[in-house]
Protein backbone atom coordinates (compact mmCIF):
# COMPACT_ATOMS: atom_id res chain seq x y z
CA UNK A 1 0.00 0.00 0.00
CA UNK A 2 1.34 3.40 -0.97
CA UNK A 3 1.33 5.65 2.08
CA UNK A 4 1.18 9.40 1.65
CA UNK A 5 1.69 11.50 4.79
CA UNK A 6 0.28 14.97 5.49
CA UNK A 7 1.99 17.21 8.07
CA UNK A 8 -0.08 20.20 9.17
CA UNK A 9 1.26 23.58 10.36
CA UNK A 10 4.68 22.49 9.15
CA UNK A 11 6.29 25.91 9.75
CA UNK A 12 10.06 25.34 10.07
CA UNK A 13 9.86 21.64 11.04
CA UNK A 14 12.19 20.60 8.22
CA UNK A 15 13.53 17.75 10.37
CA UNK A 16 10.01 16.27 10.73
CA UNK A 17 9.41 16.28 6.97
CA UNK A 18 12.80 14.66 6.37
CA UNK A 19 12.18 12.05 9.06
CA UNK A 20 8.99 10.87 7.36
CA UNK A 21 10.62 10.93 3.92
CA UNK A 22 13.45 8.77 5.28
CA UNK A 23 10.94 6.41 6.92
CA UNK A 24 9.08 5.90 3.62
CA UNK A 25 12.37 5.13 1.86
CA UNK A 26 13.36 2.61 4.55
CA UNK A 27 10.23 0.52 3.93
CA UNK A 28 10.57 0.81 0.16
CA UNK A 29 7.34 2.75 -0.07
CA UNK A 30 6.84 5.23 -2.91
CA UNK A 31 4.69 7.43 -0.71
CA UNK A 32 5.08 11.19 -0.46
CA UNK A 33 5.26 13.67 2.39
CA UNK A 34 2.91 16.59 1.80
CA UNK A 35 2.71 19.57 4.10
CA UNK A 36 0.43 22.52 4.72
CA UNK A 37 0.84 25.86 6.44
CA UNK A 38 -0.82 29.25 6.52
CA UNK A 39 2.49 31.01 5.73
CA UNK A 40 3.79 30.61 2.13
CA UNK A 41 7.32 31.30 3.41
CA UNK A 42 7.40 28.34 5.82
CA UNK A 43 10.65 26.44 5.27
CA UNK A 44 9.03 23.04 5.80
CA UNK A 45 6.88 23.49 2.71
CA UNK A 46 9.90 23.57 0.41
CA UNK A 47 11.49 20.31 1.56
CA UNK A 48 8.18 18.44 1.19
CA UNK A 49 7.29 16.46 -1.93
CA UNK A 50 4.29 18.75 -2.36
CA UNK A 51 2.65 21.48 -0.33
CA UNK A 52 -0.57 23.45 0.07
CA UNK A 53 -1.52 26.65 1.83
CA UNK A 54 -4.29 26.26 4.38
CA UNK A 55 -6.42 28.66 6.43
CA UNK A 56 -5.85 29.18 10.14
CA UNK A 57 -7.18 26.36 12.33
CA UNK A 58 -9.69 28.83 13.79
CA UNK A 59 -11.27 29.19 10.32
CA UNK A 60 -14.45 27.14 9.71
CA UNK A 61 -12.97 25.99 6.38
CA UNK A 62 -9.83 24.50 7.96
CA UNK A 63 -11.05 20.90 8.42
CA UNK A 64 -12.91 20.83 5.05
CA UNK A 65 -9.72 22.11 3.37
CA UNK A 66 -7.58 19.42 5.03
CA UNK A 67 -10.09 16.72 4.08
CA UNK A 68 -10.10 17.97 0.49
CA UNK A 69 -6.28 17.78 0.35
CA UNK A 70 -6.36 14.30 1.86
CA UNK A 71 -8.79 13.10 -0.81
CA UNK A 72 -6.83 14.68 -3.66
CA UNK A 73 -3.46 13.32 -2.50
CA UNK A 74 -4.71 9.95 -1.22
CA UNK A 75 -3.39 10.68 2.28
CA UNK A 76 -3.23 7.74 4.69
CA UNK A 77 -1.66 9.47 7.71
CA UNK A 78 -2.11 12.99 9.13
CA UNK A 79 0.39 14.43 11.63
CA UNK A 80 -0.94 17.52 13.46
CA UNK A 81 2.01 19.50 14.80
CA UNK A 82 0.61 22.63 16.47
CA UNK A 83 -1.01 22.84 19.92
CA UNK A 84 -3.85 25.09 18.79
CA UNK A 85 -5.13 22.55 16.24
CA UNK A 86 -4.92 19.38 18.33
CA UNK A 87 -8.39 19.63 19.85
CA UNK A 88 -9.90 20.41 16.46
CA UNK A 89 -8.41 17.26 14.97
CA UNK A 90 -9.40 15.18 18.01
CA UNK A 91 -13.02 16.34 17.72
CA UNK A 92 -13.08 15.67 13.97
CA UNK A 93 -11.11 12.44 14.01
CA UNK A 94 -14.17 10.42 12.94
CA UNK A 95 -14.44 12.40 9.68
CA UNK A 96 -10.98 11.18 8.69
CA UNK A 97 -11.51 7.63 9.91
CA UNK A 98 -14.65 7.41 7.77
CA UNK A 99 -12.36 7.96 4.78
CA UNK A 100 -9.78 5.44 6.10
CA UNK A 101 -7.33 8.19 7.02
CA UNK A 102 -5.39 7.78 10.25
CA UNK A 103 -4.55 10.78 12.46
CA UNK A 104 -1.81 10.63 15.06
CA UNK A 105 -3.91 12.19 17.80
CA UNK A 106 -5.02 11.31 21.32
CA UNK A 107 -8.70 11.58 22.23
CA UNK A 108 -10.25 14.94 23.10
CA UNK A 109 -10.24 14.26 26.87
CA UNK A 110 -6.46 13.79 26.80
CA UNK A 111 -5.96 16.92 24.68
CA UNK A 112 -8.13 18.97 27.07
CA UNK A 113 -6.07 17.90 30.09
CA UNK A 114 -2.72 18.48 28.35
CA UNK A 115 -3.65 21.86 26.85
CA UNK A 116 -4.64 23.36 30.22
CA UNK A 117 -1.78 23.40 32.73
CA UNK A 118 -4.09 23.73 35.74
CA UNK A 119 -6.27 20.81 34.63
CA UNK A 120 -3.06 18.86 34.06
CA UNK A 121 -1.95 19.70 37.61
CA UNK A 122 -5.30 18.53 38.98
CA UNK A 123 -5.03 15.31 36.95
CA UNK A 124 -1.55 14.61 38.35
CA UNK A 125 -2.69 15.25 41.94
CA UNK A 126 -5.68 12.91 41.53
CA UNK A 127 -3.41 10.20 40.18
CA UNK A 128 -0.70 10.73 42.80
CA UNK A 129 1.93 11.77 40.25
CA UNK A 130 4.60 14.12 41.59
CA UNK A 131 4.36 17.69 40.30
CA UNK A 132 5.17 21.22 41.56
CA UNK A 133 2.41 22.91 43.52
CA UNK A 134 0.33 25.07 41.16
CA UNK A 135 -2.19 27.78 42.02
CA UNK A 136 -4.62 30.11 40.31
CA UNK A 137 -4.52 33.82 41.07
CA UNK A 138 -7.48 33.81 43.47
CA UNK A 139 -5.83 31.05 45.54
CA UNK A 140 -2.73 33.12 46.35
CA UNK A 141 -1.85 35.07 49.45
CA UNK A 142 0.63 37.52 47.91
CA UNK A 143 2.13 38.33 51.33
CA UNK A 144 2.77 34.89 52.84
CA UNK A 145 3.64 32.84 49.76
CA UNK A 146 7.24 31.62 49.44
CA UNK A 147 9.43 33.04 46.63
CA UNK A 148 10.72 32.57 43.97
CA UNK A 149 7.73 31.44 41.90
CA UNK A 150 7.07 30.75 38.24
CA UNK A 151 4.31 32.59 36.40
CA UNK A 152 3.08 31.12 33.11
CA UNK A 153 -0.06 30.92 31.02
CA UNK A 154 -2.40 27.97 31.51
CA UNK A 155 -2.34 27.47 27.75
CA UNK A 156 1.31 28.05 26.88
CA UNK A 157 3.79 25.34 25.86
CA UNK A 158 7.49 24.82 26.50
CA UNK A 159 9.46 27.47 28.38
CA UNK A 160 8.23 30.39 26.26
CA UNK A 161 6.43 33.07 28.24
CA UNK A 162 7.55 31.70 31.62
CA UNK A 163 8.67 34.28 34.17
CA UNK A 164 10.38 34.06 37.56
CA UNK A 165 8.88 36.24 40.31
CA UNK A 166 11.29 36.89 43.17
CA UNK A 167 9.02 39.06 45.32
CA UNK A 168 5.47 40.36 45.73
CA UNK A 169 5.97 43.28 43.33
CA UNK A 170 7.23 41.03 40.52
CA UNK A 171 4.50 38.46 41.15
CA UNK A 172 1.78 41.12 40.89
CA UNK A 173 3.31 42.46 37.67
CA UNK A 174 3.67 39.09 35.92
CA UNK A 175 0.28 37.99 37.19
CA UNK A 176 -1.26 40.95 35.34
CA UNK A 177 1.07 40.63 32.33
CA UNK A 178 0.65 36.92 31.54
CA UNK A 179 -2.70 35.90 29.98
CA UNK A 180 -4.65 33.28 31.99
CA UNK A 181 -1.84 32.95 34.52
CA UNK A 182 -0.99 30.11 36.86
CA UNK A 183 1.57 30.40 39.64
CA UNK A 184 3.87 27.45 40.18
CA UNK A 185 6.40 26.38 42.76
CA UNK A 186 9.94 27.10 41.55
CA UNK A 187 12.13 24.00 41.28
CA UNK A 188 15.91 23.91 41.41
CA UNK A 189 17.01 21.06 39.19
CA UNK A 190 17.75 19.82 35.68
CA UNK A 191 15.13 19.92 32.95
CA UNK A 192 14.49 16.85 30.82
CA UNK A 193 12.17 16.01 27.96
CA UNK A 194 10.89 12.47 27.50
CA UNK A 195 9.78 11.33 24.03
CA UNK A 196 7.21 8.58 24.42
CA UNK A 197 5.45 6.67 21.66
CA UNK A 198 2.32 4.54 21.89
CA UNK A 199 0.60 2.58 19.15
CA UNK A 200 -3.01 3.19 18.14
CA UNK A 201 -4.27 0.95 20.97
CA UNK A 202 -2.25 2.88 23.59
CA UNK A 203 0.48 0.27 24.08
CA UNK A 204 3.76 2.06 24.87
CA UNK A 205 6.55 1.11 22.46
CA UNK A 206 9.40 3.55 23.10
CA UNK A 207 10.48 5.94 25.87
CA UNK A 208 13.55 8.16 25.47
CA UNK A 209 14.56 10.71 28.13
CA UNK A 210 16.83 13.51 26.97
CA UNK A 211 18.57 16.27 28.87
CA UNK A 212 17.76 19.81 27.77
CA UNK A 213 21.30 21.25 27.66
CA UNK A 214 20.40 24.50 25.89
CA UNK A 215 16.95 25.91 25.16
CA UNK A 216 16.15 28.53 22.50
CA UNK A 217 12.60 29.97 22.24
CA UNK A 218 11.22 27.10 24.28
CA UNK A 219 12.86 24.35 22.19
CA UNK A 220 15.87 22.17 22.98
CA UNK A 221 18.77 23.13 20.68
CA UNK A 222 21.40 21.08 22.48
CA UNK A 223 20.37 17.81 24.04
CA UNK A 224 21.63 14.41 25.16
CA UNK A 225 19.81 11.10 25.59
CA UNK A 226 19.81 9.64 29.10
CA UNK A 227 19.09 5.98 29.77
CA UNK A 228 17.44 6.50 33.16
CA UNK A 229 15.11 3.71 34.31
CA UNK A 230 13.33 5.86 36.90
CA UNK A 231 12.42 8.46 34.28
CA UNK A 232 11.35 5.76 31.82
CA UNK A 233 9.08 3.97 34.29
CA UNK A 234 7.62 7.23 35.63
CA UNK A 235 6.82 8.41 32.08
CA UNK A 236 5.21 5.05 31.22
CA UNK A 237 3.06 5.27 34.35
CA UNK A 238 1.85 8.77 33.44
CA UNK A 239 1.13 7.92 29.78
CA UNK A 240 -0.84 4.82 30.79
CA UNK A 241 -2.95 6.90 33.18
CA UNK A 242 -3.53 9.57 30.50
CA UNK A 243 -4.15 7.13 27.64
CA UNK A 244 -2.06 8.94 25.03
CA UNK A 245 -1.71 7.90 21.38
CA UNK A 246 1.29 8.34 19.09
CA UNK A 247 4.36 10.48 19.78
CA UNK A 248 4.14 12.76 22.83
CA UNK A 249 6.70 14.89 24.67
CA UNK A 250 6.79 15.01 28.46
CA UNK A 251 8.55 17.81 30.36
CA UNK A 252 10.04 17.06 33.79
CA UNK A 253 12.41 18.55 36.32
CA UNK A 254 14.63 16.35 38.47
CA UNK A 255 15.16 18.19 41.75
CA UNK A 256 16.39 17.18 45.18
CA UNK A 257 12.83 15.96 45.82
CA UNK A 258 12.93 13.63 42.83
CA UNK A 259 11.16 13.70 39.47
CA UNK A 260 8.43 16.33 39.04
CA UNK A 261 6.19 16.35 35.97
CA UNK A 262 5.60 19.78 34.42
CA UNK A 263 3.57 19.23 31.24
CA UNK A 264 2.74 16.90 28.37
CA UNK A 265 2.56 18.01 24.73
CA UNK A 266 0.57 15.34 22.83
CA UNK A 267 2.50 15.82 19.58
CA UNK A 268 6.05 15.75 18.20
CA UNK A 269 8.21 18.21 20.14
CA UNK A 270 10.83 20.47 18.61
CA UNK A 271 13.75 18.33 19.78
CA UNK A 272 12.19 14.93 19.01
CA UNK A 273 14.67 14.32 16.19
CA UNK A 274 17.27 13.41 18.83
CA UNK A 275 15.19 10.45 20.02
CA UNK A 276 14.44 9.45 16.43
CA UNK A 277 18.11 9.40 15.48
CA UNK A 278 19.06 7.68 18.75
CA UNK A 279 16.99 4.64 17.80
CA UNK A 280 13.34 5.37 18.59
CA UNK A 281 12.31 6.02 14.99
CA UNK A 282 8.66 6.82 15.57
CA UNK A 283 7.92 8.06 12.00
CA UNK A 284 9.13 4.65 10.78
CA UNK A 285 6.98 2.86 13.38
CA UNK A 286 3.91 4.81 12.25
CA UNK A 287 4.50 3.79 8.63
CA UNK A 288 5.01 0.15 9.62
CA UNK A 289 1.82 0.19 11.71
CA UNK A 290 -0.15 1.48 8.75
CA UNK A 291 1.30 -1.33 6.66
CA UNK A 292 -0.21 -3.77 9.16
CA UNK A 293 2.98 -4.75 10.99
CA UNK A 294 2.73 -5.69 14.66
CA UNK A 295 5.46 -3.86 16.56
CA UNK A 296 7.00 -5.10 19.79
CA UNK A 297 7.91 -2.64 22.58
CA UNK A 298 11.49 -1.32 22.37
CA UNK A 299 11.71 0.27 25.83
CA UNK A 300 15.31 1.24 26.60
CA UNK A 301 16.61 0.30 23.15
CA UNK A 302 18.24 3.56 22.11
CA UNK A 303 21.73 5.10 22.11
CA UNK A 304 22.62 6.40 25.54
CA UNK A 305 24.56 9.68 25.77
CA UNK A 306 23.72 10.55 22.15
CA UNK A 307 24.11 14.30 21.60
CA UNK A 308 22.18 16.60 19.26
CA UNK A 309 23.42 20.07 18.28
CA UNK A 310 20.78 21.92 16.24
CA UNK A 311 21.55 24.80 13.91
CA UNK A 312 19.72 26.98 11.42
CA UNK A 313 20.09 26.52 7.68
CA UNK A 314 19.08 28.56 4.62
CA UNK A 315 16.57 27.91 1.85
CA UNK A 316 16.60 30.16 -1.20
CA UNK A 317 13.50 30.65 -3.37
CA UNK A 318 13.79 32.06 -6.86
CA UNK A 319 10.44 33.87 -6.81
CA UNK A 320 9.52 37.30 -8.05
pLDDT, one tens digit per residue, over 270-316 is 999 999 999 999 999 999 999 999 999 999 999 999 999 999 899 99
Q: How many Cβ atoms sit within 10 Å of the Cβ of residue 125?
A: 13
* pLDDT for res 212: 92
Domains of the chain by range and CATH?
Answer: 4-105 (3.40.50.20), 133-185 (3.30.1490.20), 188-309 (3.30.470.20)
Query: What is the β-pairing status of strands 246-255 and 4-7?
Result: unpaired
Q: What is the pLDDT of residue 144?
A: 83
| Segment 162-173 mean pLDDT | 94
Number of CB atoms found within 10 A of residue 82's CB: 18
- Find residue 35's DSSP bridge partners: 7, 51
Q: What is the pLDDT of residue 320?
A: 65
Q: Which pLDDT value is given to residue 180?
A: 94
Cβ–Cβ < 8 Å for 150, 183? yes
- Give the torsion through C-alpha atoms of 231, 155, 85, 61, to 10 deg: 180
Q: Which of 62-71, 214-223, 288-297 has the lowest mean pLDDT?
A: 214-223
Question: pLDDT class for 220, splitting at 50, 70, 90?
Answer: confident
- Rounded distance between C-alpha atoms, residue 185 and residue 124, angstroms: 15
Amino acid sequence: MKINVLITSVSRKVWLVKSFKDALKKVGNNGKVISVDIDPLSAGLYVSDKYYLAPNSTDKDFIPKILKICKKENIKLVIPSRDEELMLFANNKYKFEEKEICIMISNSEVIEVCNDKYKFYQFLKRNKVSTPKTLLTHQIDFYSIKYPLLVKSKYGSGSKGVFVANNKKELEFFNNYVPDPIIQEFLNGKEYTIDLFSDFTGEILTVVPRERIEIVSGESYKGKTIKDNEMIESAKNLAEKLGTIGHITIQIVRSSDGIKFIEVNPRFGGGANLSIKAGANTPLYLIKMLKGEKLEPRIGKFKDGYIMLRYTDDIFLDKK
